[in-house]
Structure 1
Amino acid sequence: MQRVLIVLCAIALAFCCGFYAADRRSKPSDVSFHNMIVDPPKSLTVLITPKDKRVRKLAAQLKTPENAFSYVRDRIANDPSLPVTSAGEILSEGRASCIGKAVLLCSLYRAMGIPAKSVRVVTGEVDDPNAIIDHAWVETELGGVCIQQDASNLLGLFMFDQFKDLLYTRTFIRREGFAFNDKSFAIVSRLNMLKGFGHPAVP
C-alpha cells in the first residue's frame, strides 16, 4: 500500500512539474502584442524646426517659397542611406534622404511664415510594381492652391508648381501613410485617399 502511494505521489508531482514548465514556455516574460507605435509622433514633429537659427537665416536669404524649393532640390544632395535628422542638421550636412529634404523644405516654409495648417510633410509608397519604395514629399497651400512638391530628385527633376491639387499622388503614389509638421501628426485616412483618387462611392 505504501509503495502504491509513493508511485501515485510521484506521478502527481511529475504532472504538476510538467504543467508548470509548459505554462512557463507558453507565457514568455517579454510578450509584445501589436506594438502599434514604434516611434511616437513627437519623434517626427520635432524634426520640423522653423525656429532653428540656421533655418531662419537661410529662409531670410531665400525670401520666397520658390527659391526655397529650388535650394532644397538643387543644393541639398540626395542620399537615401541617411537617417532623417532635424532641418538644421540637414543644412549643416548638405545632403539628405527624400524625407530629410521634405523636412527641410517644410521647415523653410514655416520659417517664411506659411502657417502650419497650410504645409506638411507627407509619406507614402511609390507606385512601383517591382518594389516597395517608401517616399516623402511636401504638400502646401499657396495663394489658395494646393501644390504637392517633391524636391528629392528621386522620381525626376520637378518644378515648383508642377503638381497642383492631387496630381503628384495620382501620378506616382500607391498609398499615403501619414503627414506631419511642427504642430501636428496625422494618419492619412482611407476615406481621404479614396476621395482623392476619385472613387465613385465616395461623395
Structure 2
Amino acid sequence: MISSLTGTVRHVGLHSAVIDVGGFGMLVHATPRTLSGLHVGREASVETSMVVREDSMTLFGFSDAAEREVFEVITGVSGIGPRLGLSILAVHTPEEVRIAATAGDVKAFTRVPGIGPKGAQRIVLELAGKLVPTGDPAAAAGGTAEQPWKGQVLEALVGLGWTEKDAGKAIDATVEAEPEAVEAGDVGQILRTVLRGLGRGSARAGR
C-alpha cells in the first residue's frame, strides 16, 4: 500500500493533482484544503490512502496524517464511500469532524452535500467513540488553511462558464471586498455574492 508520496507537482485541478514520483505521474484525489497547498513545479509531500477495488486502485491525498486518519475512519461508516468522505473533509476540518462526532452533532453532517438527516444520524451513531477531539483550537477553526467552501464555489463558477483563473480572482475579490459575506461559509450565499461582483464587472466592461 502507498501511504505517502513526495515528488514534483505536475498538475492541480479542482478535485485532484498529479505528482511526479520517479518519472511516474501519480493521480491523487484530495480536498480543496489539501490541493491549495500544492503548486505546479514545486516539490510536495502528501499522506495517502489507497482504495483498492476489483477494477481500480485509487489514491486519496491529505495534507497530514490527522486528515488521513479521519478520512479512513469516516469511510468505514456504512454508505460513506471515498468521494463522500472527501466531501465531508471539504466542508469540515478534521477537528470539526471529531467534535461533531463526539457531540452527536447531526446538523454538522447535513451541511455536507449528499448527506441527509437519516444519513447524518447514521454517521453520528457509527462514529461514536471512534473519533476524539484533539483539543487544538487552530485545527478546529481550520488554522490558516484554505477556506473549505472555496473549491465548491470555484467548481460552480467554472460550470457556469467562467475560466478557473477568472473565477479564482472573483472569489478573492469578494473575500477582500465583502468579508462578512463569507464568514458563515454558506456556499450558496457566497456564490450569489461572487456572481453579483462578476455581474458588476461585466457591466463596467460593457460601457
TM over 0.5: no
> Larger RCO: Structure 1 or Structure 2 (Cα < 8 Å, ≥ 6 residues apart)?
1
Please state which structure has a larger fraction of its residues in helix. Answer: 2
Q: If you compute each CA radius of gyration, which structure gives the higher value, 1 or 2?
A: 1
